Amino acid sequence: MTAPEAPGQPPEPALRADAERNRERIMEAARRLYASEGLGVSMASVAREAGVGKATLSRRFTTRDELVNAVFTDRMEAYAAATTTALADPDPWHGFTHYVETICAMQAADRGFAAVLTISFPGAAALEARRAESYQGFLELISRAKATGHLRADFASEDLVVLLMANAGVIAATCDAAPGAWRRLVGQMLRAFATPDAPLPPIADAPDSADLYRAMVRMP
* 41 and 82 inside one domain: no
- Contacts with 74 (C-beta within 8 Å, 6 or more apart), sequence order: none
Residue 14 pLDDT grade (very low, low, confident, very high; cuts 50, 70, 90): low
pLDDT above 70 coverage of the chain, percent:
92
* 91 and 176 inside one domain: yes
* 58 and 82 inside one domain: no
First to last CA, the chain: 67
Cβ–Cβ < 8 Å for 127, 113? no
Residue 217 pLDDT grade (very low, low, confident, very high; cuts 50, 70, 90): confident
* 162 and 182 inside one domain: yes
Least confident of 82-91, 125-134, 206-215: 125-134
Which residues form the domain of 57?
Answer: 11-62
Query: For the residues 193-214, what does the mean pLDDT come to?
Result: 95
Q: Output 44-48 pairs: Cβ under 8 A, ≥24 positions apart.
A: none
Count: domains in the chain: 2
* 79 and 123 inside one domain: yes
* 15 and 86 inside one domain: no
Q: What is the pLDDT of residue 55?
A: 92
Residue 128 pLDDT grade (very low, low, confident, very high; cuts 50, 70, 90): confident
Residue 154 pLDDT grade (very low, low, confident, very high; cuts 50, 70, 90): very high
Q: What is the pLDDT of residue 94?
A: 98
145 vs 172, residue with greater confidence = 145
CATH of the domain at 76: 1.10.357
Residue 15 lies in a domain: yes
Query: For the residues 73-96, what does the mean pLDDT come to?
Result: 94
CATH of the domain at 50: 1.10.10
pLDDT above 90 coverage of the chain, percent:
58
Whether the per-residue pLDDT at 220 is higher than 80: the answer is no
Look at residues 79, 100, 177, 200 and name the one whose alpha carbon lies nearest to residue 142.
100
* 42 and 77 inside one domain: no
Q: What is the pLDDT of residue 113?
A: 86
Secondary element (H or E) of residue 49: helix 43-50
Residue 3 pLDDT grade (very low, low, confident, very high; cuts 50, 70, 90): very low
Cβ–Cβ < 8 Å for 151, 193? yes
Q: What is the pLDDT of residue 112?
A: 85
2 vs 29, residue with greater confidence = 29
